[in-house]
Amino acid sequence: MLSTLLPEFKIERDDSRCIRCKVCVRQCGFKTHRYDEEDDTICSSEENCVGCQRCAVMCPTNALTIKPHDWGYRPNANWSKDHFRELHRQAESGGVILTGSGNDKPYRIYWDHIVLNASQVTNPSIDPLREPMELRTYLGRKPEKVEYDPVNKKVYADMPPQVMIEVPIIFSALSYGAISYNAWKALLMAAKEAGTLCNTGEGGWPVELRGYSNRVIAQCASGRFGVDLDYLNSASIVEIKIGQGAKPGIGGHLPGEKVSSDVSLTRMIPEGTDALSPAPQHDIYSIEDLSMLIYALKEATHYEKPISVKIAAVHNAAAIASGMVRAGADIIAIDGIRGGTGAAPKIIRDNVGIPVELALASVDKRLREEGIRNQASILVAGGFRNSGDIIKAIALGADAVYIGTAALVAMGCTICQKCYTGICNWGICTQDPYLSKRLNPEIAKRRLVNMIRGWSLEIKEMLGGMGINAIESLRGNRHHLRGVGLEQWELDVLGIKGAGM
């Protein structure tokens, strides 16, 4: 069948600059560039190009420019380029359109409509270069109060397990299998060095990397890939994955192409088979089932580790979260509509779920109203791009945030959204050894640690500006936020005033 698809990207090669070094040919895993020895020229198959910019970055003479194709179809406000393209692809294949990364549709990004406060006159701002500024956070269920023993002059608390993070930024669930071994290892090393945590995702945890660090959140997802006692007990936190922001309501799908021998070993599944996580956890059809799994995991880990439950942000997130806390979750993680994925049906990614800002605001409020906010920490995920987004999330009530896409970008990702293909020219989202060795774990770790450091410094500056010297004094402190360009209902859900009020 003749393909009616036009290329997505246009490749412009400045022939006066091209030295025929063939770097671009070797760098492109999608086989876009090809050297023609006879003509001593490099040809490009634009239909293969995903716009990842790897060739352009690596070209020593900057001879390449890759840009979105300006198609000549008649402009149509209803039928966008994407609609055309997807429908043509489906007409050719009869399949579900897959994609990777987070939702790229222009849903309102509330972070961009919220502004922060700063101290003037009545309250001094604090200079973090000269004064202490604390970002340390403890995750886990907190008791209602401490007891004081006047005889020994000591306080006692029946303290559930707590996990300390030096910065309220955690690497989100990125499974080994979805991402390369080197990328996964870089996250593990960076989490240790930055004093934070990384999340295994649902792909297990290579045995040889367990002794290296326990700064890990071990996920127990519906496929139970790689889950055994040692896996659970090697981690700091165990997380039950109910849902994912990029694909609420459906399970995971790691294509067989990505299930290499090492991945198969770690996931405990046959090599080359699709790793399919069921849509629900088949032992959780109701809230009491969740409670049983939570306590099964607590038993398995001797009540020494907080148990987190992660859900996608959906309409009744507040009520669901309340149930989760009552079911015994020590941490609740909420992943919003802009959360990333290694592979998901595009129609789900683009249409299901709600923005995490709204879900967070309603969950934090509901837990406070029910008097149980101290019983769980709140983690939020889904599209955090910089430290400004993060500090706003904390002021809305989060204890810490999960960053996934941002971590990938720090390692080199350009969000080309082709994670599901198993080919990643940046060596991040692939199991092809030729591609994955491009990512040096040491350098990737350095880039991740640098990002955390830079964001920490920025958060400290903003905190100091608000006259606050400890992150816990901003948590849920919505007085420091104002909305700009929002409707009243949105302000009401966010629990903030409009700017100027």
Partner 1 sequence: MKNLSQISNPFNDDKVIANCGLFGMMSLEKNTFSGSDIIKAIANMRVRGNGLGGGFAAYGIYPDYADLYAFHIMFQSRSAKEQTESFLEGSFKIVAKEEVPHRYAIGVSDPPLVWRYFVETPKGVSDEYADDYVVEKVMIINTKIDDSFVFSSGKDMGVFKGVGHPEDIGNYFCLEDYSAYIWVSHSRFPTNTQAWWGGAHPFSILDWTVVHNGEISSYGTNRNFLEMRGYYCTMHTDTEVMAYAVDLLIRRHRLPVDIAAKIMAAPLWTEIDQIDDEEEKQQLTVLRQVYSGLLINGPFTVIIAHQGEMIGLGDRVRLRPLVAGIKDDMLYLSSEEAPMKLIRPDLEYTWIPKGGEPIIGKLDTKEVIYQNKPVQVGVNKDAVNIAA
Q: How far is the CB of 390 from partner 1 (least distance, A)?
A: 17
Q: Answer yes or no: are the C-beta atoms of 140 and 130 closer than 8 Å.
A: no
Confirm if 347 and 305 have CB atoms less than 8 A apart: no
| Interface with partner 1 (CB under 8 A), residue from 85, 89, 142, 447 | 142
146 binds partner 1, rule: CB under 8 A: yes
The β-bridge partners of 331 are 308, 377
**Binding segment (CB under 8 A) for partner 1, from list 17-25, 35-43, 99-107, 157-165:** 157-165
Nearest to partner 1 of 440, 477 (CB atom): 477
Cβ–Cβ under 8 Å, residues 132 and 143: no
Q: Is 116 in the site for partner 1 (CB under 8 A)?
A: no
Q: How far is the CB of 324 from partner 1 (least distance, A)?
A: 18
Name the minimum Å distance from CB 130 to partner 1.
Answer: 10
CB of 459 to partner 1, least distance (A): 15
Contact with partner 1 (CB under 8 A) among 73, 79, 148, 434: 148
Q: How far is CA 233 from CA 55, 199, 217, in A?
A: 43, 14, 10
* 201 near partner 1, rule: CB under 8 A: no
Is 374 a binding residue for partner 1 by CB under 8 A? The answer is yes
Q: Does 136 bind partner 1 (CB under 8 A)?
A: yes
> Residue 36 or residue 158: which is nearer to partner 1 going by CB?
158
Interface residue with partner 1, options 154, 282, 315, 453 (CB under 8 A): 154
Tell me the pairing of strands 137-139 and 163-165: antiparallel
Least distance from partner 1 to the Cβ atom of residue 463, Å: 9
- In the complex, the smallest distance separating the C-beta of residue 373 from partner 1, rounded to whole angstroms, is 6
Q: Which is nearer to partner 1, 141 or 338 (CB)?
A: 141
Range in contact with partner 1 (rule: CB under 8 A) among 5-13, 125-133, 171-179, 263-271: 125-133
3-state secondary structure of 55: helix
Pairing relationship of beta strands 9-13 and 114-116 according to DSSP bridges: unpaired
Q: How far is the CB of 68 from partner 1 (least distance, A)?
A: 44
492 binds partner 1 (CB under 8 A): no
- The length of the chain is 501
Q: Is 315 exposed, middle or buried (0-12, 13-18, 19+ CB in 10 A)?
A: exposed
Measured CA distances, 337 to 108, 198, 313, 381 (Å)? 11, 21, 7, 9
Q: Tell me if 274 sits within 8 A of 254, measured CB to CB.
A: yes
Among the listed residues 457, 477, 455, the one whose alpha carbon sits nearest the alpha carbon of residue 466: 477
270 Cβ contact list (under 8 Å, min separation 6): 259, 264
Binding to partner 1 in span 464-483, by CB under 8 A? 466-470, 472-480
- CA gap 489, 111 in Å, rounded: 16
Nearer to partner 1 by Cβ, of 137 and 260: the residue is 137
Is position 498 an interface residue for partner 1 (rule: CB under 8 A)?
no
Distance CA 463, CA 457 (A): 10
Stretch of 156-164, 346-354, 408-416, 427-435 lying at the interface with partner 1 (CB under 8 A): 156-164
Residue 415 has a CB neighbour count (10 Å cut-off) of 16
* Shortest separation between residue 441's beta carbon and partner 1, angstroms: 30
Asked whether position 122 contacts partner 1 by CB under 8 A, the answer is yes
Q: Is 499 in the site for partner 1 (CB under 8 A)?
A: no
Residues 6+ apart with CB under 8 A from 58: 23, 24, 27
Give whichever of 221 and 486 is closer to partner 1, judged by the CB atom: 486
Nearer to partner 1, 143 or 270 (CB): 143
Q: What number of chain residues touch partner 1 (CB under 8 A)?
A: 42
Give the β-pairing of 237-241 and 9-13. unpaired
Is residue 151 at the binding interface for partner 1, with CB under 8 A as the rule? no
Query: Which residue in 337, 239, 242, 330 sits closest to 286, CA to CA?
Result: 242
* 3-class SS of residue 87: helix
List Cβ neighbours of 314 (8 Å cut-off, separation of 6 or more).
Answer: 243, 248, 320, 352, 353, 354, 359
Nearer Cβ to partner 1 (72/500): 500
The answer to whether residue 162 forms part of the interface with partner 1 (CB under 8 A) is yes
Q: Does 131 bind partner 1 (CB under 8 A)?
A: yes
Among 50, 114, 126, 416, binds partner 1 (CB under 8 A): 126
Tell me which of 72, 75, 132, 500 binds partner 1, using CB under 8 A. 132
Q: Note whether 157 binds partner 1 by CB under 8 A.
A: yes
Q: Pull the structure tokens for residue 79.
A: 């039928």
Residues that bind partner 1 (CB under 8 A): 119, 122-124, 126, 131-132, 134, 136, 138, 142-143, 145-146, 148, 150, 153-155, 157, 159, 162, 368, 371, 373-374, 466-470, 472-480, 497, 501
